[in-house]
Amino acid sequence: MPIFTNPFQDRAVKQKDSASLKPPLPHEPVPPALSRVGRGASTDASRRPSVATVSSINSNPDTQHNHLNVPRRPSAWGRMSDYVARRNSTPHGTTAPLHEWDRWVAHTKRTFSTSDELIDESRMAALTKKYGELCEVSGLGTESIILVSHKYQYCPPLDTYYALKVLRRAPDESQSDHQNRVTAEFALASTLTHKHVVPTYELLPLGAGNTPDLFVISMENCAGGDLHSLIAGSAAHKLPAEQADCLFKQLLRGLAYLHSKDVAHRALAPENLLLTNRGCLKIADFGHATCFRVPGEDSVVLSKGKCGISRPYISPEQYTDAEFDPRAVDIWAAAVIYVAMRTGRNLWQEATESDTGFAQWMEQRSNGKNNAVLDEISTDLSRDILYAMLSIDPAARPTTAQVLSSAWVEGVDCCIPAAISD
């Protein structure tokens, strides 16, 4: 039996607790799945849970997650309400106060040993005029921070919240490299339009000077928090099968769309899977994504080396010198995420032979034996699919289309209707 690690229970912290904004303790068994360390793009080590309290979803009529299977007990979303964690309909007191934004800016100035103004006041004024006043911090990390703004006006009528992702230059990164990296992330994310992908609107400079160290990417605000917080906020720190299956199907739909557009995410983890108030899952954070096919060509541009940062979700081939199809990386991560939803744990800390849990997994699979945990959470329809998705050989993993067309996934009652293109 593999040794489990449970980062979800350790991180089930209410948002109003300002301590949750601090980086994880060094002895945490598994680092947070959404590591925003290093390049500071879309992955940041200290991102906190994005939901506030375990409260009744039924108290908010805008929140729905109804499964259409009539013989089941009514209101599947109501059963989730005992453990789902989410923010309230108003921002007050539900997330980090704005002084954390001031603290983040001050830390940036200390990092670069400058007393100059970091933020251009005219650019900030233009930002708040367009997207509304800043009202809270929903994510905090080493090289980026997620702000929530509220745009309210009478004429024309508008009452909308936005997510504003502020990215700063890493200490070992040149200004040109920083600009190129941020521009590349935005250029890719802004072309994606799908129900299960977070919409990206605009890239704006925020820093002072002609070569600003701060940029802002504006996005849709997903008020339901992230998948990690949903798991951590549950009473048992795991999701029942019908809820996990529904979210898994939504994830696969989003992945199928990305792959159809020749895009591989390469850094999937529960923290960058966001939820709306109606339970719609959306893929976010494209800082490690890649286009795997040149327009007009059929051949796949292979990847090499470690692409993601969230160790439990990184596939084993990323630790080798071999080239691989980046789509297989997403398939592996999706299966690991499903296991995390069902168990609230990771079977291994990283997919290397030095990891005890993964070494046991490799031994079991090489000897043709099944894994007890995977067998416990799977059915006759899902078992073979999950084992195939977790094949050590990336070439042996199924495609998103094959998983979606399996009898298991096709039979899942999903609370979110499929997009016309799905």
Q: State the pLDDT at residue 135.
A: 93
Q: Please report which confidence band the pLDDT of residue 19 belongs to, taking 50, 70 and 90 as the band edges.
A: very low
Report DSSP letters for 120-174, one per residue.
-HHHHHHHHHHH-EEEEEEEE-SSEEEEEEEEEETTTTEEEEEEEEEEE--TTS-
pLDDT exceeds cutoff 90 at 108: no
pLDDT in tens, 27-52: 333 334 333 333 333 444 334 444 33
Instruction: Take residue 357 and report the two structure tokens written for it.
Output: 């849990």
Residue whose C-alpha is closest to residue 21's, from 110, 87, 103: 103
pLDDT tops 60 at residue 278:
yes
Q: How far apart are CA 283 and CA 197, in angstroms?
A: 5
Average pLDDT of 116-133?
Answer: 92
Contact criterion met (CB below 8 Å) for 282 and 222: yes
State yes or no: pLDDT of 14 exceeds 50. no
> What does the DSSP 8-state code read for residue 416?
S
The residue extents of the domains of the chain are 116-220, 225-411
Strand partners, 200: 219
Q: Give me the mean pLDDT over the 398-409 stretch.
A: 98
Out of 25-29, 271-275, 335-339, 371-375, least confident range: 25-29
Residue 344: predicted pLDDT: 96
Q: What gap in Å lies between CA 34 and CA 333, rounded to an integer? A: 13
Report the C-alpha gap between 218 and 232 in whole angstroms: 27
208-243: per-residue pLDDT in tens? 877 678 999 999 999 999 999 999 998 889 999 999
Average pLDDT, the chain: 81
Q: Model's pTM, two decimal places?
A: 0.80
The pLDDT value given to residue 138: 87
- pLDDT given at position 41: 38
Token pair 């980026």 is at which residue? 144
Cβ pair 258, 197 in contact under 8 A: yes
12 and 49 Cβ atoms separated by less than 8 Å:
yes
Rounded to whole angstroms, the Cα distance separating 274 from 270 reads: 8
> For the chain, give me the number of helices (H) and strands (E)?
13, 13
Architecture of domain 225-411 in this structure = Orthogonal Bundle (1.10)
Collect contacts of 409-414 with beta carbons under 8 A, ≥24 apart: 409/245, 409/248, 409/249, 409/252, 409/385, 411/381, 412/245, 412/246, 412/248, 412/249, 413/67, 413/68, 413/69, 413/242, 413/246, 414/67, 414/246, 414/249, 414/250
Report the chain's C-alpha Rg in angstroms.
21
Q: What is the pLDDT, as a whole number, of residue 128?
A: 96
Residue 113: is it exposed, middle or buried by C-beta count within 10 angstroms (0-12/13-18/19+)?
exposed
Q: What average pLDDT does this structure show over 242-266?
A: 98
Q: Where does the pLDDT of residue 79 fall: very low under 50, low under 70, confident under 90, or very high at 90 and above? A: very low
pLDDT digits (tens, 9 = 90+) for 344-377: 999 999 999 999 999 999 999 999 999 999 999 9
- Residue 68's pLDDT is 35
User: Is domain 116-220 given the CATH code 3.30.1330.20 in the classification?
Assistant: no
Candidates 334, 338, 408, 343; CA nearest to 372 is 343
Please give the average per-residue pLDDT across 70-89, as a whole number.
Answer: 40
CA dist list (Å): 146 to 46, 94, 124: 12, 14, 15
